[in-house]
Structure 1
């Protein structure tokens, strides 16, 4: 196969379409979260903590797809604003379990509402069955790539 046979128009590439959709989604999310003074990683951190309170910074970093160093900055910023709490010293080991404060839960609720508008706009042209299929297809893609790299992490 020649190189010309392998290459296809960029607008027919699934990878390009995913990257374009991802970039536009991120931009829309940033715009929706800006009035709430949150970034996408901060929102993701609050959402993961709502679902799994008590996670350490390392666990949160893996769940939110950022480095531990970046997560430490996210956590410090959210803690300084009173949106989450961490004990001053770990109960055991080195991990500081993190939990949302009432103000953090309130900000998360507002952010979730703002982002549901973005998601509904993004999926408006799809039927409910097409939405389910898209979600399943994206999960399959992630699994295939995770299997290849040997991890589910970025």
Structure 2
């Protein structure tokens, strides 16, 4: 006869870690976003940067990096690409003319508007197995986990 305590321990050891599942989810989302964004020639990270600027204009490149989950160097390179495509604009900070900040251009907004339904469809597909109250719970749980690991408040 199998000892329940022992078999429970074995099951607990064999269970997939949440960290692994979260990473798998991240990779699956990124793959779907790659497919959706390929026709407009932007990456998921560039898309994230554009959506950050859509919500919050006049960020420095370093602030954008923190909000878009990339290093300062990666953000600088990405901003260069987005600026050359006319999707973002660098301009003097209204509060400090020595500092340059970023703003989404009309072309950048048009691109976001063009892909919004497809990106929303990726999220809807991901959440399709869940009931509405479960989606709300998941959002709350993920935000709480992010907050527990974050050294600064989310933007």
Shorter chain as denominator, the TM-score bin is 0.7 to 0.9
Residue in 2 that maps onto 1:29: 33
Structure with max Cα Rg: 2
Aligned 8 A contact 2:58 2:93 in 1: no
Output the CA distance in 2 between the equivalents of 1:50 and 1:151: 21
Aligned partner of 1:116 in structure 2 is 120
46, 69, 81: which one aligns with 2:85: 81
| Distance in structure 2 (CA, Å) of the matches to 1:46 and 1:112 | 12
Partners of 1:102 and 1:152 in 2: how far apart? 29
d(CA) in 2 for partners of 1:95, 1:114: 36
**Cα offset, 1:113, TM superposition:** 1.9
The aligned counterpart of 1:53 is 57
CA–CA distance in 1 between the matches of 2:123 and 2:99? 34
Runs of 4+ in 1 over 4 A off after TM superposition: none
Question: Unaligned stretches of 5+ in structure 2?
Answer: 1-8
> What per-residue deviation string (whole Å, max 9, x for no partner) do you get for residues 65-91 of structure 1?
10111001111111101111113x666
Question: Structure 1: where are the runs of 5+ without partners?
Answer: none
Alpha-carbon contact 2:50-2:108 (below 8 Å) kept? yes
- Structure with larger RCO (C-alpha < 8 A, sep 6+): 1
Q: TM-score, normalised by structure 2?
A: 0.84
Cα pair 1:57 1:95 within 8 Å, conserved: no
Are residues 1:8 and 2:16 paired? Answer: no
Over the aligned positions, Cα root-mean-square deviation in angstroms equals 2.1
The Cα offsets for residues 108-152 of structure 1, whole Å up to 9 and x where unpaired, read as 112222210110111111111000001111111112222xxx445
